[in-house]
Structure 1
Amino acid sequence: MGSTETSTGGQVSDLPPIRRFITTHDDATGKAKLYSQDEGQWQSLRNASVAFNVAYTTTGFPPSLNDDADITAYKETMASGDLGLVNPNGTVCRYVDFGPGSHPVMHRTQSLDYGILLEGSIEMMLDSGEVHTLRRGDVAVQRATMHAWRNPSDTEWARMIFMLQDCQPIKVGGTLLEEDIRNATEVPASRKDH
């Protein structure tokens, strides 16, 4: 595995830049207003063949939006540097850019994930050996299963956006299936309680 590099705003892919718009309320009028607009931070992994950009994360469900408590919690979580793939008891909205021919990493998160392909094509690989190709606009609903993502293109980048929601522990056939990211060594574990 390659080193982890973090860049502010800068991304490694040639895909269009993203912008994040966070809204809030005006205390005096109660009307909506823009809190911030930016490109977020990209974190490059595996020798810049994959990159993450966390659009937002919450630390509780349902989150409190009062007095911008969720924004404060988001900033604290991101500053801590220990956000795993999943935020326990919360949600994570993350962009992922996959480089041409990027090496797939088999993993499982203890979460319910919606993965929507925005650009390019992606192969969803399951530990059963099944491989399914997603095209622009397709959604994968990952339910705490072992899986990997592979960009089959030799020349084009692919981009997905993932919405991860923590879930209750999952048992299959009486066996507890926990988070398994041992092959994703650059990503911190999501759970501190196991």
Structure 2
Amino acid sequence: MSSETKSPTPSAGLKSNLPSTTTFITGHNAEGKAIVLDSRPATWKSFENGVMGFNQIYTNPFPPDLNGDADLHFHDDKIASGNLGLAVKNGTVCRMVDFGPGYVCMMHRTQSLDFGIVVEGKIDLVLDDGSSTHMKRGDIAVQRATMHSWRNPSTTDWARMLFVLQDARPLFVDGVRFGEDYGRGTEGLPRSGNDD
């Protein structure tokens, strides 16, 4: 790891006009003092012709092992493997998502407890009962393995959310199991593998 700031990585076709972000990772020096061990500019992966994108900030098993930077190695290896789903088995995922004007993502469900925080713009949380809840900057959704979609209601402005997904035990409603369901348009997106 380096304490130097790395050059920004191209956005791989993401058309967002929102400001770039940097992740600062702390650690310890040889004397046991806290330091900023690394800084990582956002690396975006675009979807659906650049109108939605993911910045994978951090992923790790739970509880994480911080010894010898095992957590950072796990994250880097998981990203390099290309097989990170929306959630991770026995672990946690932190990701930033940008939504283009008017964009509606697929209706989907993960077997996870998710915290979704609106960072920029406005977002509608759409559930499979047909309801829509309008969220503004600073609002938080606690998503409990429900079928849902995200809609950017603006026709001109991008929206950004920060998500933390934590693996959850299988969910049963009236004896019926509700597992991971990515919905339409997710070809090529790896499954989380936590509901096998």
Normalising by structure 1, we get a TM-score of: 0.92
Do the aligned residues in 2 keep the contact of 1:9 with 1:39 (CA within 8 Å)? no
> Which AA in structure 2 matches 1:53?
N
| Secondary structure of the structure 1 residue equivalent to 2:36 | strand
2: CA distance, partners of 1:29 / 1:80: 34
Change (3 A) 1:178 1:193: closer
Gap regions ≥5 residues in structure 2: 1-7
**1:31 equivalent in structure 2:** 33
Q: Percent identity?
A: 51
Distance, in Å, in 2 between the alignment partners of 1:81 and 1:42 is 13
Runs of 4+ deviating beyond 4 Å: none
Higher alpha-carbon deviation: 49-58 or 182-191: 182-191
Against the structure 1 CA distance between its residues 116 and 29, is the aligned structure 2 distance closer, same or farther, given a 3 Å change threshold? same
Q: How far apart are 1:70 and its partner, in Å? A: 0.3
Unpaired runs of 5+ residues, structure 1, are 1-6
Deviations 1:8-34 (A, max 9, x none): 3435310111111011111x2011112
Deviation string 1:91-117 (CA, Å, 9 cap, x unpaired) is 010000000011331000000000000
- TM-score normalised by L of structure 2: 0.91
- The alpha carbon displacement at 1:192 in A equals 6.4
Please give the root-mean-square deviation of Cα atoms over the aligned residues, in Å.
1.4
Distance in 2 separating the partners of 1:158 and 1:105: 16
Whether the 8 Å CA contact 2:170–2:195 is kept in 1: the answer is no
Q: 1:1-194 to 2 correspondence within 5 Å?
A: 8-10=9-11, 11-26=14-29, 28-58=30-60, 60-183=61-184, 184-191=186-193, 194=196
Structure 1's 193 and 178: CA in aligned 2 closer, same or farther, altered over 3 A?
A: closer
CA distance in 1, matches of 2:136, 2:181: 26
